[in-house]
Amino acid sequence: MFEHIDAYPGDPILTLNENFAKDPRDAKVNLSIGIYYDDQGRLPVMQAVREAEAQLLAQPGPKPYLPMAGFAQYRDAVQALLFGDDSHARSEGRIATVQTLGGSGALKVGADFIKRYFPGTKVWVSDPTWENHRFIFERAGFEVGTYPYYDEASGGLQFPAMLAAIDALPPRSVVLLHACCHNPTGVDLNDAQWVQLIEVMKRRELLPFIDIAYQGFGASIETDAFALRELARQNVPALVANSFSKNFSLYGERCGALSVICESPAIAARVLGQLTSAVRANYSNPPTHGAKIVARVLGTPALRQAWQEELASMCGRIKRMRGEIHERLRGKVPDRLLARYIEQRGMFTYTGLSAGQVDTLRETHGVYLIRSGRMCVAALNENNVAAVADAIAQVIAQRGT
């Protein structure tokens, strides 16, 4: 019966992370998966999360199914965090939000929704993008194309080429965009570029699908949401997938949401119904625990304040480590590969190392990066940064650039 089943080659990120765990060497450093680790290399439990969880556990109760669309207070808190307390689209009831299984779940529910109501459309992703974007949309039945994005020569954005390519897409094409802290490159649009891009997408009647998995890791919670807030402000229909894996350090709780900005409250009600139906067809209803934590933190002023401060300090630590690796690599790697460590934003730096160099780093030095050359700088710390910089310098000296 199953003779014809192909072997799974593994996932470029998650399988590598599993392989890291199996690596018997003591001196190994995991800069592969997008996870924030603290200065001691530990996965933090944020103070506000700890406190909210303690409050919830102090009131144990039954565990019924959540509604298909998710926990109501959570959905409301998600909308306020993403679109702002003063969002008109939100107060007018033009945003439909469902709780999902992390950001990937939001992308899948969104993909199923679009496939059903825009069946012939094609999805366009940045070149490069997070490996799972293409996978999720292809598995949902879409053809996936790319638009220019990253410029390896400068380590920055190819904005004119990106804009021109998007300006040539057929109406109703889906354009997948990263709101902030682009994964894998760490290269973002500035606000003026977002305004220009939104103008093009409006004129061409394209459907933006914004992925925001790193809110708070770029500049701030508010400014990282500029693109989606601007879309909502200008009444541009769009989908927004968000995740609390990173900014709440709640990876395994699978806390995410899908929000759809609609033209009217009546349309939003129908869209919400169809998102709910996509949830039912995929997994019926989402889990409770993480959503209750997030809702409690965001809905309790003191906890929210503590969460924001801790998130800001995590972000500050990443920036310090960027500065430190930059300092240590100065003079050891070509200048064109250096500036990116401090210029790119969020959890990742696109190092410009080749797949072969990444393989040598891993095999010879126990330093794990994704084979695209993506480094998770959020896993650097005072204890490993010197060894990582030395390993990179040696690999470059040995294999060239």
Minimum CB–partner distance for residue 243 and ligand LMR (Å): 8
Active site residue 191: no
State the catalytic residue, choosing from 211, 224, 292, 307: 211
Residue number with CB closer to ligand LMR (169 or 375): 375
3-state SS, the chain, equals CCCCCCCCCCCCCHHHHHHHHHCCCCCCEECCCCCCCCCCCCCCCCHHHHHHHHHHHCCCCCCCCCCCCCCHHHHHHHHHHHHCCCCHHHHCCCEEEEEEEHHHHHHHHHHHHHHHHCCCCCEEEEECCCHHHHHHHHHCCCCEEEEECEECCCCEECHHHHHHHHHCCCCCCEEEEECCCCCCCCCCCCHHHHHHHHHHHHHCCCEEEEEECCCCCCCCCCHHHHHHHHHHHCCCCEEEEEECCCCCCCHHHCEEEEEEECCCHHHHHHHHHHHHHHHHHHCCCCCCHHHHHHHHHHHCHHHHHHHHHHHHHHHHHHHHHHHHHHHHHCCCCCHHHCCHHHHCCCCEEECCCCHHHHHHHHHHHCEECCCCCEEEHHHCCCCCHHHHHHHHHHHHHHHCC
In whole angstroms, the minimum distance from the beta carbon of 109 to ligand LMR comes to 16
Which residue's Cβ has the minimum distance to ligand LMR?
34
Give whichever of 105 and 237 is closer to ligand LMR, judged by the CB atom.
Answer: 105
Comparison of 123 and 213: residue with beta carbon closer to ligand LMR: 213
CB of 247 to ligand LMR, least distance (A): 12
- Residue 378 CB, shortest distance to ligand LMR, in Å, is 10
One of 112, 115, 130, 307 is an active-site residue; which one? 130
246 is catalytic: yes
Known catalytic membership, residue 28: no
Nearer to ligand LMR, 34 or 286 (CB): 34
CB of 130 to ligand LMR, least distance (A): 5
Q: Enumerate binding residues for ligand LMR (CB under 6 A).
A: 13, 33-34, 130, 132, 183
| Identity of the residue, 197 or 375, whose beta carbon is nearer to ligand LMR in the bound complex | 375
Which of 124, 194, 224, 246 is an active site residue?
246
Supply the residues annotated as catalytic: 130, 211, 246
